[in-house]
């Protein structure tokens, strides 16, 4: 047991080191692309005077060489500072992200839970009732909603449940009713994807020898389903669940914009249009960090779900 814990600790440390390297590469690529794009944070419809632009660049260090700016950015990160925003100058990038992230996290977590429950349930039902009407309905659901973009579904939900039926508000944030439609719009595609993966994985697991052996021993079907079929069928689901969770929790740019949700996805769009270098870098690194952590958690869960998987 101690040896297994040591192997797991080495694996986690190795993955964390790789994660830091990935974040470094992502930061450099993003920083480079930002400075290659024409324009800058002071680009306006009405151009500022050259003297004003020069003074602003000198104040925020934008007049320094590229690698000096990048080195200063990395030094700021080491001190826990993601930089400043040129759009919201009264707040730091960290403060802006922390104000927008709770809204995005609530929306993404709600969508993820809904997608997992619906996707796994439909996938299991389709596999256990293969080639019946239940299977056909589940496959039809996954095919339709895997083909419908989230923003299209969001607009349809808004027309039906807000404009026609007046059940939910069209947008905004602050009440549970304002979470329902954007969460469904975000969860539809992942739910359909998870349903298809669950169905395929469950059908493959049901054909394994250990399932037939368990049934031949006279075990109850419920025990066979939970202990042998469901647990082993979840490995591919967990593989896709990590990135899906990261994608949903870090926000959907279009869905947040449609429903006027002040999350970090909407902030990122505004930062790109405003050439807000600090907010762009902070948002991209935040996205990368969440995705890296989600992938690490998925790799650790492999060993929990399937004891046959070893990390050495």
Residue 219: the pLDDT is 63
Residue 286 lies in a domain: no
Residue 260, both tokens: 């006027």
Residue 229 lies in a domain: yes
| Cα angle, residue 236 at apex, residues 20 and 214 outer, rounded to 5° | 135
Question: Residue 44 — very low, low, confident or very high, per pLDDT cuts 50/70/90?
Answer: low
- Look over the chain and give the mean of its residue pLDDT values, rounded to a whole number: 77
Residue 272, both tokens: 């790109």
| Cα–Cα dist 34/15, whole Å | 28
**How many percent of the chain have pLDDT more than 70?**
78
Residue 268 lies in a domain: no
Residue 235, both tokens: 């490995």
Q: Using the 8-state DSSP alphabet, how is residue 163 labeled? A: I
What b-and-e string marks burial along 230-267, b requiring 16 or more CB atoms within 10 Å of the CB?
A: eebbbebbbbbbbebbbbbbbbbbbbbbbbebebbbbb
Number of independent structural domains in the chain: 1
pLDDT above 60: residue 216? yes
Owning domain of residue 228: 99-262
Q: Where are the alpha helices (DSSP H) in 37-65?
A: 50-60
Backbone angles phi, psi at 92, to 5 degrees: -80, 170
Give the alpha-carbon dihedral of 231, 236, 241, 243, to 10 degrees: 150
pLDDT above 80: residue 195? yes
Residue 205 lies in a domain: yes
Residue 176: the pLDDT is 81
Residue 178 lies in a domain: yes
> What is the pTM (predicted TM-score) of this model?
0.71
Q: Is residue 173 within 8 Å of residue 262, measured between CB atoms?
A: yes
Other CB atoms within 10 A of residue 179 CB: 19
Residue keyed to tokens 């794009």: 37
Which of 61-65, 142-146, 153-157 has the weakest average pLDDT? Answer: 61-65
Helix (H, G, I), strand (E, B) or coil at 102: helix
pLDDT above 70: residue 144? yes
How much is the average pLDDT of 58-63?
A: 72
| Cα–Cα dist 148/189, whole Å | 7
Summarised one tens digit per residue, pLDDT across range 92-119 is 777 777 877 788 888 888 888 888 888 8
| Cα–Cα dist 12/65, whole Å | 37
pLDDT above 80: residue 235? no
Residue 23: the pLDDT is 86
Question: Residue 251 — very low, low, confident or very high, per pLDDT cuts 50/70/90?
Answer: low
Question: Which among 172, 189, 151 has a CA at the least distance from the CA of 263?
Answer: 172
CATH classification at residue 190: 1.10.3720.10
Q: Is residue 283 within 8 Å of residue 85, measured between CB atoms?
A: no
Angle separating helix axes 277-305 and 231-249, nearest 10 degrees: 170
How much is the average pLDDT of 26-34?
A: 85
Residue bearing the bigger pLDDT, 222 or 272: 272
Residue 164 lies in a domain: yes
Residue 195 lies in a domain: yes
Residue 89 lies in a domain: no
Residue 305: the pLDDT is 58
Question: Which among 244, 303, 283, 305 has a CA at the least distance from the CA of 15?
Answer: 303
Residue 226: the pLDDT is 63
Helix (H, G, I), strand (E, B) or coil at 84: strand
């Amino acid at each position: 047991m101690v040896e297994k814990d040591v192997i797991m600790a080495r694996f986690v440390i190795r993955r964390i080191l790789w994660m830091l390297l990935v974040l470094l590469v992502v930061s450099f690529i993003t920083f480079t692309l930002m400075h290659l794009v024409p324009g800058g944070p002071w680009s306006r419809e009405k151009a500022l005077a050259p003297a004003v632009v020069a003074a602003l660049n000198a104040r925020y260090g934008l007049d320094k060489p590229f690698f000096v700016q990048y080195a200063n950015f990395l030094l700021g990160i080491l001190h826990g500072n993601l930089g400043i925003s040129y759009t919201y100058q009264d707040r730091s990038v960290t403060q802006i992200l922390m104000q927008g992230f709770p809204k995005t996290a609530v929306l993404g977590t709600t969508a993820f839970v809904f997608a997992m429950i619906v996707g796994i349930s439909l996938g299991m039902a389709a596999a256990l009732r293969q080639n019946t009407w239940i299977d056909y309905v589940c496959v039809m659901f996954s095919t339709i909603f895997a083909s419908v973009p989230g923003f299209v579904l969001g607009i349809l939900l808004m027309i039906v449940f807000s404009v026609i039926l007046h059940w939910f508000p069209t947008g905004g944030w602050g009440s549970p009713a304002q979470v329902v439609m954007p969460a469904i719009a975000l969860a539809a595609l992942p739910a359909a994807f998870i349903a298809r993966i669950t169905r395929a994985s469950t059908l493959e697991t049901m054909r394994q020898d250990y399932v037939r052996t368990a049934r031949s021993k006279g075990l109850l079907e419920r025990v066979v389903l939970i202990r042998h079929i469901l647990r082993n069928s979840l490995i591919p689901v967990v593989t896709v669940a990590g990135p899906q969770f990261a994608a949903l929790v870090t926000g959907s740019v279009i869905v947040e914009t449609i429903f006027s949700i002040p999350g970090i996805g909407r902030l990122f769009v505004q930062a790109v249009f405003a050439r807000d270098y600090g907010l762009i870098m902070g948002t991209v690194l935040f996205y990368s960090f969440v995705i890296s952590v989600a992938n690490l958690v998925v790799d650790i869960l492999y060993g929990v779900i399937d004891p046959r998987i070893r990390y050495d």
